[in-house]
Amino acid sequence: MKKAFVVAVDDDLSVLKAVERDLKAKYSAQYRVLAADAPGKALDLVKQLTVRGDRVALFLVDQRMPGMTGTEFLQAAMQLQPAARRVLLTAYADSNAAIDAINTIKLNHYLMKPWAPPEQHLYPVLTDLLEEWTGANPAEFEGVQVVGPRWLPETHRLKDFLAKSQVPYRWREPEAESGEMPLVVFPDGSVMERPETAAVATKLGLAMTPSRGFYDVVVVGAGPAGLACALYCSTEGLKTAMVEKEAAGGQAGLSSRIENYLGFPSGLSGADLARRGVTQVKRFGTEVIAPAEAVSLKVEGEYRVVTLSTGQELAAHAVVIAAGVQWRRLDVPGLDRLTGAGVYYGAATTEAASCQDEDVYIVGGANSAGQAAVHFSEIARSVTMIIRGEALSKSMSHYLYERIATIPNIHVIPNAEVVAVSGEERLESITIRQDGADDKTVPAVALFVFIGAEPHTEWLDGVVKRDEKGFLVTGVNLPRTGKRDPYLLETSVEGVFAVGDVRDAAIRRVANSVGEGSIVLYFIRQYMRNR
Instruction: Report pLDDT for 180.
Output: 85
pLDDT (average), residues 258-265: 85
Whether pTM exceeds 0.85: no
Domain regions of the chain by residue span: 4-136, 144-204, 214-326+454-530, 336-449
Q: What is the dihedral of CA 390, 394, 399, 404, to 10 degrees?
A: -20
Mean pLDDT across the chain, nearest whole number?
Answer: 91
Instruction: Report pLDDT for 273.
Output: 87
Instruction: Report pLDDT for 175.
Output: 78
Confidence of residue 141 (pLDDT cuts 50, 70, 90): low
DSSP secondary structure letters along 243-309 = E-SS-TTHHHHT-S-B-SSTT-TT-B-HHHHHHHHHHHHHHTT-EEE-S--EEEEEEETTEEEEEET
What is the percentage of the chain residues whose pLDDT exceeds 70? 98
The answer to whether the CB of 348 falls within 8 A of the CB of 449 is no
Instruction: Report pLDDT for 396.
Output: 93
Report which listed range, 213-222, 246-255, 473-482, is most confident. 213-222
* Three-state DSSP string of 28-96: CCCEEEEEECCHHHHHHHHHHHHHHCCCEEEEEEECCCCCCCHHHHHHHHHHHCCCCEEEEEECHHHHH
Helix 270-283 and helix 153-164: axis angle, to 10°? 50
pLDDT (average), residues 95-112: 87
d(CA 504, CA 470): 9
In this predicted structure, which of 114-128, 461-475, 489-503 has the lowest mean pLDDT?
114-128
pLDDT (average), residues 50-74: 93
DSSP secondary structure letters along 302-357 = TEEEEEETTS-EEEEEEEEE---EEPPPP--TTTGGGBTTTEEES-HHHHGGGGTT
Per-residue pLDDT tens for 276-315?
899 899 999 999 998 889 999 999 999 999 999 889 999 9
Asked if domains 4-136 and 144-204 share a fold, the reply is no
CATH superfamily of 336-449: FAD/NAD(P)-binding domain (3.50.50.60)
Q: Find, among 334, 335, 289, the residue nearest to 312 by Cα.
A: 289
- Report the alpha-carbon angle 246-234-124, nearest 5: 85
d(CA 513, CA 501): 7
Confidence of residue 18 (pLDDT cuts 50, 70, 90): very high
d(CA 300, CA 273): 36
What is the percentage of the chain residues whose pLDDT exceeds 90? 68
CATH superfamily of 4-136: Response regulator (3.40.50.2300)
pLDDT (average), residues 218-225: 95
In CATH, which of 3.40.50.720, 3.30.565.10, 3.50.50.60, 3.90.1200.10 is domain 214-326+454-530?
A: 3.50.50.60
How do beta strands 416-422 and 429-434 pair?
Answer: antiparallel
Any bridge partners for residue 242, and if so which? 219, 288
Instruction: Report pLDDT for 167.
Output: 84
Any bridge partners for residue 170, and if so which? 145
pLDDT (average), residues 450-475: 93
Q: Would you tell me how many other CB atoms lie within 10 Å of the CB of residue 271? A: 24
d(CA 142, CA 187): 6
pLDDT (average), residues 172-188: 85
In this predicted structure, which of 132-146, 205-219, 341-355, 477-491 has the lowest mean pLDDT?
132-146
How do beta strands 183-185 and 191-193 pair?
Answer: antiparallel
Q: Find, among 423, 218, 209, the residue nearest to 303 by Cα.
A: 218
Has residue 438 got a pLDDT over 90? Answer: yes
Write the CA distances from 121 to 32, 59, 77, 117, integer angstroms. 21, 17, 25, 6
Helix 398-405 and helix 367-377: axis angle, to 10°? 30
Confidence of residue 70 (pLDDT cuts 50, 70, 90): very high
Architecture of the domain whose range is 144-204:
3-Layer(aba) Sandwich (3.40)
Per-residue pLDDT tens for 151-179?
999 999 999 888 888 788 889 888 777 67
Confidence of residue 479 (pLDDT cuts 50, 70, 90): confident
pLDDT (average), residues 336-359: 89
The answer to whether the CB of 395 falls within 8 A of the CB of 482 is no
Instruction: Report pLDDT for 346.
Output: 84
d(CA 149, CA 132): 29
Confidence of residue 482 (pLDDT cuts 50, 70, 90): low
Tell me which long-range contacts 486-489 makes (C-beta under 8 A, separation of at least 24): 487/523, 487/526, 487/527, 488/519, 488/523, 489/516, 489/519, 489/520, 489/523
Q: Would you tell me how many other CB atoms lie within 10 Å of the CB of residue 447? A: 25
